Amino acid sequence: MVSRRADSIDWRSVLTGMLAATLTALLGFMLLLNQRGDMGFALFFLLPGAAGFAAGLITRSGSLLPFTLMFTFLTCTTFLLIAALANSLARVSPLR
């Protein structure tokens, strides 16, 4: 039997949590995307909460959750920039 160190990171848990949160965030964004631009509250408050909740359910340790959420943020931002969907975020930003 292989012993595991207590301070090693369970990357499988981080990656599965990241996958669940990324899918929740991107699918939610695609469902909220419309032409009128009235998705601000759901996009900026409810969707990140749902993605964080999904990551929290999947990630095994609370100390790994920051890694999971950081990788989720980077993955979603990269996907939105590559897919040129970040322009639609600028239309609904509450900071404009």
Distance of CA 85 to the CA centre of its chain: 15
Residue among 6, 5, 44 at smallest CA distance from 25: 44
Query: Is a pLDDT exceeding 90 seen at residue 82?
Result: no
* Nearest CA-CA partner of 75 in 12, 11, 9, 23: 23
Q: Which one, of 25, 32, 21, 96, lies nearest residue 56 by Cα?
A: 21
State yes or no: pLDDT of 94 exceeds 60: no
pTM of the model: 0.71
